[in-house]
Structure 1
């Protein structure tokens, strides 16, 4: 399927590793020019080099990769980076919001929960997503086309940890923005990844192993056993989903919250 993405421009936060980096690669394979954004320039430059190496066989058919340091808790930082992207590539068509503390800062029981950590989680992941959407929307309105895809999380669909409230808030933000921006040709959706093979998932295995008195390998095996497709997901699978949601061919889908978890979520969401 031709996703009709060639020549479009994407801005990806949390783009230096994991899902963000995988999405950058997949979009660039489709001919999208991509700005990857995060706080640490060294990690961004390493990610950009890795993506460019993977794209080398495609030659000029691939999109360009541009790293830029951004603090999504700072509106001026976000606006400057967005303006630079539009100046460099001529537009901002696609926004992937992925900058966040993986797993959240508040995973403990109430008596040990840190209110400051919870506020940080919300500022970075919820308000940060709003800042990026606010900065990107004028460029999208100008062209009558835009795609905003938010990375949520399955903790928003359960009651296991307080940090999950940020993912619930993102779903509300998604639906609200889809109403406001839809008349301008802009869609807004959230995906909730499951257990995805990233550096952070191995940190989670280690933490859970200590809590449960298991090995990290046993924790991973238990996640696999609980997942109907019986495997850990790969980052590129998130890239494929985002590429479709970013394309003109997904224009009928907006305001949605989509589980990309191999069936791990057992709830029924109408």
Structure 2
């Protein structure tokens, strides 16, 4: 990459929405660093992305649960590339944790929050010195709609993401650094398609019947695509100024019904 090319780090980079978000950032001209704990899956994700985009793509392993590991990642990126312009925090467990209070696994719930909320704080802490030195930077935290509902206890991590986003935006705004959260709605991914298939099998019905049940609650009548979420993140990451910061943006086709002032 050239000295003028901006660089984005994306955590949770081996799967989920992250490769699609990274593709949108690459289309906006950012060199990409994907990071995740599993080296083999990370290398595969980086290779697949590199085949699709015209910017440099690098995979560097790190563990969201370890400040030392996260600091080493930031140091490595600065040594190799000399800059960090954007951080997209997305590392998280994909398994919801819920159930009756008498049966809930509290330790698992806290460990889950440590990966997402603790991880977001650790990565932010690691990249802030480089961003402060540059006098600019954009941080985008990927949350989720469970933070605005009582469906599952593990939604507390997404509520916490909104809170830490606001706190960090207060702290970092004076240094030209924006911090925003993006809460995706129902995104059509292979994981979701598998879930629809499982529900259909359990009910003895067709997959399209299950899909229609979910789709009817979305005002647009459409599931989101990863690309749509990616374009929203890229818009925040590509902002030329600090006008939008401290915000929790819902990208859900109108699925959320609450009024947030």
TM-score (norm 1): 0.90
Contact 2:21–2:231 at 8 Å: present in 1 too?
yes
Equivalent residue, structure 2, for 1:122: 113
For 1:69, what is the secondary structure of its paired residue?
A: coil
Cα root mean square deviation, aligned: 1.8
For 2:213, what is the secondary structure of its paired residue?
A: helix
Contact 1:33–1:89 at 8 Å: present in 2 too?
no
- Within 2, Cα distance between the matches of 1:21 and 1:220? 24
Does residue 76 of structure 1 match 2:65? no
1:202 maps to which of 193, 196, 200: 193
Measured against aligned partners, the alpha-carbon deviations of 1:20-76 in whole angstroms (never above 9, x if no partner) come to 101111111222111101111221121112111112xxxxxx321001111100111
More helix by share: 1
Does residue 96 of structure 1 match 2:94? no
1:236 maps to which of 195, 207, 227: 227
Equivalent residue, structure 2, for 1:59: none
Q: Flag the 1:169–1:30 CA change in 2: closer, same or farther, 3 A.
A: same
Does residue 51 of structure 1 match 2:43? no
Q: Flag the 1:151–1:173 CA change in 2: closer, same or farther, 3 A.
A: same
1:225 maps to which of 186, 211, 216: 216
- Within 2, Cα distance between the matches of 1:118 and 1:214? 33
Contact 2:26–2:32 at 8 Å: present in 1 too?
yes
- Within 2, Cα distance between the matches of 1:133 and 1:216? 41
Equivalent residue, structure 1, for 2:171: 180
TM-score (norm 2): 0.92
Equivalent residue, structure 2, for 1:3: none
Measured against aligned partners, the alpha-carbon deviations of 1:244-266 in whole angstroms (never above 9, x if no partner) come to 10013362110000110111100
Q: How many residues align?
A: 258
- Within 1, Cα distance between the matches of 2:60 and 2:142? 20
Equivalent residue, structure 2, for 1:268: 259
Q: Flag the 1:250–1:202 CA change in 2: closer, same or farther, 3 A.
A: farther
Structure 1 unpaired stretches of 5+: 1-5, 56-61
Structure 2 unpaired stretches of 5+: none
Q: Flag the 1:216–1:109 CA change in 2: closer, same or farther, 3 A.
A: farther
Contact 1:22–1:235 at 8 Å: present in 2 too?
yes
Runs (4 or more) in structure 1 with deviation over 3 Å come to 202-219
Contact 1:191–1:259 at 8 Å: present in 2 too?
yes
